[in-house]
Every structure is written in C-alpha cells, then in structure tokens.
C-alpha cells in the first residue's frame, strides 16, 4: 500500500518509538506523577524537564517557554484564547487559511470579537499594514494544512505593533526550518503526530513575559498555564521526534522537493497544482475536474493509494473546502481537490503508484459527476 497522507498523521518514527518505550518501561518499574515529591515523581519530572530542554533547543526557544499539551488542537485553543483574554483587548484576528482548530475558536469564545485576515487566489494571506489598537492577538499558520502554501508570518510580526502573534506550525515542522526566536512570534503551536511522535503529544511555546489564562481548573501544572498531569513518556517521545526531524531537515527537504517535482511532471494535463505560491516541499495540492472527491478517494484507496481530499481532519466528512472557497473558488472548484503529502519513508515508487492510479480514479469520479447531472 502507498501512504501519501502524512499531513494527516505519520507513523511513529523509530527514534520516537525507542525513546517512548524506554520511558514507558522506566515508569512501569518506578511509577511517578511528575508533580509528586517522592523518588518516582522526581524521576518522571526529570524526564519531563529534559524533554522540555531538548524541545526548546530544537525549536529555538527557552526551556520555560515550552508548555506541554495534548496536541496541536489544544495548543491552538490555549494559545489563541488564553493569550487574547489575558490582554483585556476585545478583538482577535485570524487568517482565512487556518485549520479548524483555530478557525472554529470563535464558537468557544463568543466574548471575543473575531475578525479575518483575507487570503488571495493563490492561498497566501494578505497581511494588513496595521492590525488595529483593539486587536489582542493575530493568528496565522506557518504552512496552510490544506494547500501547503507558506504564509507570510514574518510580515504579520512586522505589522503587529503591540498585538500578540500566534502561529500554528504543525504543518511546517519537519518540512521547513522553524525557529521560534527567529520568527519573532509570541506563541507557536507544535503537534507530535505530524512528525513521528505519538498522537496526543504537542506543545505550545509561549514567549517569556506573555501571560495566558489557563482554560481549565485543576492542578496548575505547567506553571499554572495548563492543568493536567504531564504525559512524561509522551514528552520524551516528542522531544526525540523533534530533534531527529531538525537533524534530518536538509536531507528531507531535498528528497521531498525531488519527489514533488516528479509528481508534478507526471500529472495529466487536466490536473493542476492548485497554487503557484511557495509551498511546503512535503505537500502537493491538486485541483481536478470533478465534484466527487469521495469517489476519487475511494478509487485511490482501492488501487492501494491513501491520499486526502483537502484536510483529513474533518472526521471523514467531505464538504467544499472553506479555505478554497476563501481563495475565491466556486463550490465545484472547492470540491475537486486532492492533498498528497510525504513522510520519512516516501520514495519514488509511491509517487509512481499515485500517478498510475490517478487516471482511473479521476475517471471513476467523473462518472459519478455525470450520473448526478443526469
Ligand atoms: N493544526 C494543523 C495545522 C493541523 O494540520 C492539525 C492536524 O490535524 C492540527 C492543528 C490538529 O492537530 P492535533 O491532532 O495534534 O490536535
């Protein structure tokens, strides 16, 4: 089978698996809540703090700036709402290319005024020259989870004045160099299972001096920023995966770019790359002449090729992509899309399997389009 849906999730990487199992076994032989004062607690706490340091080094942050969470979704909610609320200002600005874990935050915080940063037809956010005195925080992904287009976060930082800036880097880490300090953002989200760490791991990086209101009552772990027992083994595995990702980055970028070029060169004339803007080397977003993405995906699946229509994070429901609609596509144009994404083990044979399955899958989807028209 050919797995080309790494932007949805990746397998556990060998280094993360090894680090995770070692930590789990250590916790089995001597259990301990990292907050406990006894020997078991101190050993677990050491694991968490070593992992925190490793993550800080890998992402260009300070140790105290790393807040462990259960993944990118939680980090986004905690970072955006928690930091915005603490400022006391009323408005939040979010880009129109956000993953639902940011795009839908308005439903969770109706006390804040939610405004949008628009996007152009190539999928690049259009940063306003100034953000407004009433804006607490602006949030923009580093790489759009659907199109793979790199977003102008540096420009947002330059325009931000004293507005806080948050970036969701879940789709950027492992595909582009990412440094928290060099970017100059105030908050950054990272997710574990996109880089070979276990599902349920992630972190929010919070710049020293930036306060966030915790979103839940509890034990006040993570310096009162995020209550809940820290997953010590998960933290260890996240650190191992992130370090490996950073170490291998140059090689991975070159390899993925070559795979991307191979894929694009092999496309039939009726299938287009959606955007010409600079994008993640690990992702190719395609536009196809069909309005039946489910049939397309099923036909690929039957041919042994796993890909995604837009973002796979929508609990299996295929609806016109909000992001593509925001880019000015009509409903049909926002339906006929495919996201192909690469991981550590992707090679040329995967690309060839995709290209081989493509004409048949598209024909099957178009038969369904015709059936609906009749
Ligand atoms: N943010 C982005 C950009 C994503 O692609 C995803 C993917 O699911 C998430 C957030 C959610 O991540 P998690 O599953 O770790 O909560």
Interface predicted TM-score (ipTM):
0.99
Asked if 230 and 279 sit in the same domain, the reply is no
Asked if 287 and 191 sit in the same domain, the reply is no
Domain boundary among 193, 212, 247: 247
Query: Which pLDDT score, from 0 to 100, does residue 315 have?
Result: 47
Test site for ligand 1: of 237, 313, 323, 343, most ligand atoms within 8 A of the Cβ: 313
Predicted confidence (pLDDT) per residue in 322-342, tens digit: 899 999 998 888 889 999 999
Minimum mean pLDDT range among 183-192, 237-246, 309-318, 333-342: 309-318
The set of catalytic residues is 313
Asked if 231 and 276 sit in the same domain, the reply is no
Decide: 147 in ligand 1 pocket, CB within 6 A.
no
263: domain CATH number is 3.90.1150.10
Predicted confidence (pLDDT) per residue in 197-227, tens digit: 999 999 999 999 999 999 889 999 999 999 9
User: Please, are residues 324 and 334 in contact by the beta-carbon 8 Å criterion?
Assistant: yes
Asked if 59 and 121 sit in the same domain, the reply is yes
pLDDT band of residue 373 (cuts 50, 70, 90) is confident
Residue 50 CA to residue 353 CA, distance in Å, equals 42
Test site for ligand 1: of 99, 176, 200, most ligand atoms within 8 A of the Cβ: 99
Predicted confidence (pLDDT) per residue in 134-174, tens digit: 999 999 999 999 999 999 999 999 999 999 999 999 999 99
Query: Which pLDDT score, from 0 to 100, does residue 313 have?
Result: 43
User: Which among 327, 349, 331 is positioned nearest to 291, based on CA atoms?
Assistant: 331
Cα 191 to Cα 197, 204, 223: the distances in Å are 8, 9, 20
Half-sphere exposure of 181 (CA within 13 A, CB side): 11
Count other Cβ atoms within 10 Å, centred on residue 346: 20
Decide: 170 in ligand 1 pocket, CB within 6 A.
yes
C-alpha 312 to ligand 1 mean position (Å):
10
User: Which is more confident, 126 or 132?
Assistant: 126
Whether 317 has a pLDDT exceeding 80, the answer reads no
Decide: 6 in ligand 1 pocket, CB within 6 A.
no
* Residue 178, helix vs strand vs coil: coil
C-alpha 191 to ligand 1 mean position (Å):
6
Asked if 151 and 208 sit in the same domain, the reply is yes
For the segment 89-102, the average pLDDT, to the nearest whole number, is 97
Domain boundary among 198, 221, 247: 247
Asked if 114 and 221 sit in the same domain, the reply is yes
Closest atom, ligand 1, to C-alpha of 169: 3
Asked if 69 and 180 sit in the same domain, the reply is yes
User: Please, are residues 354 and 305 in contact by the beta-carbon 8 Å criterion?
Assistant: yes
Which residue segment(s) compose the domain that 101 sits in? 14-247
Work out how many domains the chain is built from and give that number: 2
Closest atom, ligand 1, to C-alpha of 101: 10
Decide: 222 in ligand 1 pocket, CB within 6 A.
no
Domain boundary among 214, 247, 280: 247
49: domain CATH number is 3.40.640.10
Asked if 178 and 227 sit in the same domain, the reply is yes
Asked if 232 and 266 sit in the same domain, the reply is no
C-alpha 58 to ligand 1 mean position (Å):
20
């Amino acid at each position: 089978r050919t797995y080309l849906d790494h932007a949805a999730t990746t397998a556990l990487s060998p280094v993360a698996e090894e680090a995770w199992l070692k930590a789990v076994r250590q916790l089995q032989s001597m259990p301990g809540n990292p907050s406990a004062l006894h020997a078991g607690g101190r050993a677990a706490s050491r694991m968490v703090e070593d992992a925190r340091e490793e993550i800080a080094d890998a992402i260009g942050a300070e140790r105290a700036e790393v807040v462990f969470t259960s993944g990118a979704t939680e980090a986004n909610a905690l970072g955006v709402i928690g930091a915005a609320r603490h400022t006391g200002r009323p408005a939040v600005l979010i880009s129109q290319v956000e993953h639902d874990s940011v795009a839908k935050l308005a439903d969770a915080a109706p006390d804040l005024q939610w405004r949008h940063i628009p996007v152009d037809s190539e999928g690049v956010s259009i940063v306003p020259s100034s953000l407004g005195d009433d804006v607490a925080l602006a949030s923009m992904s580093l790489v759009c989870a659907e199109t793979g287009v790199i977003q102008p976060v540096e420009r947002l930082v330059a325009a931000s004045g004293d507005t806080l800036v948050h970036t969701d880097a879940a789709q950027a880490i492992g595909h582009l160099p990412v440094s928290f300090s060099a970017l100059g953002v105030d908050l950054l989200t990272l997710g574990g299972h996109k880089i070979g760490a276990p599902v349920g791991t992630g972190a929010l990086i919070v710049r020293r001096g930036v306060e966030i209101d915790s979103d839940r009552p509890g034990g006040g772990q993570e310096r009162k920023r995020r209550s809940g027992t820290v997953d010590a083994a998960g933290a260890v595995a996240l650190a191992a995966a992130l370090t490996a990702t950073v170490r291998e980055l140059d090689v991975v970028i070159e390899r993925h770019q070559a795979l991307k070029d191979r894929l694009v060169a092999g496309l039939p004339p009726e299938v287009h790359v959606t955007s010409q803007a600079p994008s993640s080397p690990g992702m190719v977003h395609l536009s196809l002449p069909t309005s039946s993405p489910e049939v397309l995906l099923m036909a690929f699946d039957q041919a042994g090729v796993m890909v995604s229509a837009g973002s796979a994070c929508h609990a299996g429901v295929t609806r016109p992509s909000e992001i593509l609609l925001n880019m000015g596509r009509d409903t049909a144009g926002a339906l006929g899309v495919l996201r192909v994404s690469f991981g550590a083990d992707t090679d040329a044979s995967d690309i060839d399997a995709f290209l081989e399955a493509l004409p048949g899958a598209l024909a099957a989807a178009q038969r369904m389009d015709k059936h609906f028209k009749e």
